[in-house]
Chains A and B, each alone.
Chain A
Amino acid sequence: MRGEAFYRNLFRLMNEHFIGLKFLAVVWEQDQALTRFASSRIHQNVAERKVSLSVLATRDNKVALATSNDLTVSGLKTLREKLETMLEFATPLDYEFSLPEVSMGYPVENVAESLKKVSAEQRANIFDRMLKIATNDVQLFGYVSDSVTENVIISSNGTFLYQSFAGVYFNVVAMCDSASGYASGVAKSYDELSVDEKVERAVRFAKMSKNPVEIDPGSYTVILGPEAVSDLFMYFGWLCTNGYTHELKISPSAKYLGSRIGPNELNVYDDPTHPMQLPFVYDLCGKKREKMAIIENGVFKNVFYAHGAALRFNKKPTGHTLNLDDLDSSVPVNLVVDAGNTPVEEMLSDTKSGIYVNRFHYMNIVDPQEAIFTGMTRDGTFLIENGQLTKAVKNMRFNVKFFEFTQNIEAISKEIETVASEYFPQIAPYMKVQQFNFTSKTA
């Protein structure tokens, strides 16, 4: 990684070579490595090192964005030339645009020393550890990955912010014949990653998933594991918390914001300060990100405003500008679904009849107006009878209205886990939910 000193020099160079231009620049630099395995052998093993410098320039209320991975003086000159040409042809925005206010802060460094020089051999050792947990009749599929990221925000009005963060991630599907179990994990370093316990769970679920029974589609009481809960709330966060679409009334939030949508113990935050999260401290406009409630005591409390949406609708930006090429859209990237009051064992033992869902697969939005989501169950779906997981169930498709789903939450577990979702790590508990709607089954 180039480090803070290199970027302080870039700040100086940019202000030297971009004189007369109002700009906001964002650098992403990432060293990432990933070891992927299938059928209990490594089949893909990669490392990449890349950087990008994006410069948003503005003049006469017009904006243009140019990006390059050439950070030399000659690269900066080319970027400037490109921006000048683009600004010539760009047309003005329909609201008064201004760059974010000056933002200053201490460098934020969240990279464990042990992560700065991880070798492929060390990642492979984690894979070896996983193999020892699996028995001979179980095959493992998944990945182990680590990344170190530097993010720098520079502006013509004097902003210089530097943050670095790192994460290690894994997921594993354990296969026992055609039966499967799944687990994933995220931590700030390999020392903190709880691999063994989760791999053991995936293997146990795979063994329990043999000989699944077929059940009819319909409405069932379900207990959702943290992986499944995090998927539902990720889609909710993406679809329903964007202040821009809220103001245009083309978001479900137009109907539900301010309403009670679930029980008192339902609390959902975007929280970069949570100890189990990988914190993203500043947004790309340099706005310090803070813990913000999305759902508080069962009430849908807030939507978020990126820089452009805030200017346009006269709102305060909330620290959710994550793309310089889309200054309107906001996404909660440190999503935390908070713990409830019920131990998961009690949640299970209190369930006379229902279905346990470990994980969903390929979720999507069916109806963006009512937040109707669909998806399949996968890697560990079980019948619950008299408080016990008794039989594996063939995978089912669900279609649920998110805001009915939240009203039907009966219990939220005391236990929470960090899961490696497709995009950002998320923290979620187990949930017991009534009338969960399965609409078809697989072949």
Chain B
Amino acid sequence: MTQPLIEIRSAPHLKAAKSVETIMRHVVYSLLPICAFYIFQYGISALASILVVTIACLLTERALISTGTQAGRLSDFSAVITGLLLALTLPPGFPLWMGAVAGVVAIALGKALFGGIGFNVFNPALVGRAFVQAAFPTAIATYTPSFLAGRFTEFIPSSLALPLMIPAGAAEWLKAKQFDALAGATPLAKWKFDGVVVNADELLTSLSGHMAVGPAPALILLCGAYLAARRFMDWRIPVAILGSAALTAWLLFAIDPGRYPNPFFMLFSGGLILGAVYMATDMATSPVTPKGMWVYGALIGLLTVVIRYYSGLPEGVMYAILIGNAASPLIERITQPTPFGRGVSLGRTRKRASYPLNPGYISREEAGAVTPKKRFLPRKPKK
């Protein structure tokens, strides 16, 4: 029997069987079917890629935790999530050594630099991907068709490139398998560079044909629904992202159907679903206020479509989410909920949570001797 104790601590006083570790573990569970399907699509190369990237993440995390560089424990599963998500966003035939580089960068630059779990500003998996996207632009754009015969016994040649060496091109290999070189292009790249729009229902399951795509959006939505139902993830963010992306795409489609593809294509192609469900919802990097979640999601959805349409890149989810991550502290600041009992009257509720700069702080000399009365200072929150 323990002594009865009075425990004094600060908020939150939530009492539920939900620790960080539980949540992370369930996210990993929900990712497993997606990984399994991805391996089913692309075979042994995908398996190797997932393993190598995840192991790279775990080893980096272990090394950096043991040197005291970052907080957290290896057993909190967060590095596993980073590794799995990172592997799912990379092409299946991505050279394994580049995958390892991505994993190391994801943890070291994306997470340890900021202090470890919970302190990261950007989604670590996307930091890793952004790095390799900038470092190896050719390799990361090289997809291969899915559901190839013999995919469980034979690696995609580019996977096994020697460290620091250029991966073998896929064209020869595809020719031997009787595909033209264009079969390796993702639906988004095909649309962007060749104007071919794939049907949305084919994209949703990605079962038909040999499309070069990531894991099936339908499966991701299903796994995401499980997480949302168990309250391991907030449903507002994915809904806001998908809603805003669909709305933007639909508006543009309505203006000029010849130039812009239909909104369903926008939703189900590329990594939008994976990003919306698993990456944008990362707790450390997204706003905590309900209103803020809507703003954050809407921003990401809008940016994704804008980048896809108007930039040189075929895919924009990654940069959209990274920009959203960067904006989320600001979004939190302007969407602070009104404390109970405050500001219900006078219609000034919206001003409550924002703190304009005190002119007195801008420049003592400039402001002169007369400082405006500090009306808002009593309400300033304590640090």
Physical interaction between A and B: no
A interface list, Cβ under 8 A from B: none
